[in-house]
Amino acid sequence: MRNLKYKWGVELYKDEIDNSKKLLDQISIFNNYVKCRMDYLADISFGTPLMQTNKYAYADLFKELDKVRLLLEHISGLDDFEFEIKFKKNGEDLKESNDLLVAIPNDILGTQAFYNILENIIRNSAKHSDKSKLVGKNNVVFTVNFMDDIEKVDGYCNDDKCDKTKCYKAHEKEIKNALNEFIAVEVYDNIPVVGDPKQLSDIELTEFRRMMGNKEPNHKAYIDYLVLPKTIN
């Protein structure tokens, strides 16, 4: 009986030690993440990116973010907001076997800029979206889709007079030229939009014009995408 109690005691302490070690490891990872974030904020405030480095979208961008569990598990500020992040390439799941290189300005600092965008999207969805609109018990899924294939890109146009059914063909050359130098990146969630999307766009445009003194927005580009440069030689 004494030996049995001793064994249980040892296993109990071992579990506590393992849990403490995991927590300390996560604190260390999070502290390093925050340090990089502070360096990034200082860099964009007072400096100009002077170099670019090549990073793999899955092996570097995704996996490094996935390690920061303290951030991801508390980023929404809600106890019941469960989500996952999926990286894709031209609509297909991104893995090590089909990974792609992207050029990141200022190495780690550019990576933090990319993470900063994702964080804001997650927080905005948690705050403003209605998760109850999801079918069944599905979790929220944030998809980051890297696109370098012209056949996989829909034409997005800011011109209200443009025929959306012909938009892709009308701007195919422009999109193709852009994809020669850049990788288009779209980020979205799977939470259904409540109401008419066209009406929501009109409301947002009306508010934008009000803030701009009812001036027409001066859109130069037809592609509403976050873009990353392709790899440098």
User: Tens digit of pLDDT for each residue in 66-78?
Assistant: 999 999 988 888 7
The number of distinct structural domains making up the chain is: 1
Read off the pLDDT band of 94 (50, 70, 90).
Answer: very high
pLDDT for 21: 80
pLDDT for 23: 84
DSSP symbols for 157-218: ---TTS-TTTHHHHTHHHHHHHHHHEEEEEEEE-PPPPS-HHHHHHHHHHHHHHHTTSPPP-
Read off the pLDDT band of 60 (50, 70, 90).
Answer: very high
Short-list 56, 58, 64, CA closest to 29: 64
pLDDT for 157: 52
Contact 115, 36 (CB under 8 A): no
pLDDT for 127: 84
Domain, as residue range, for 58? 2-229
Task: Give per-residue pLDDT as tens, 180-221.
Answer: 778 888 898 888 766 665 565 677 667 666 666 655 544 443
- Mean per-residue pLDDT for 39-61? 87
Considering the entire predicted model, what is its pTM?
0.71
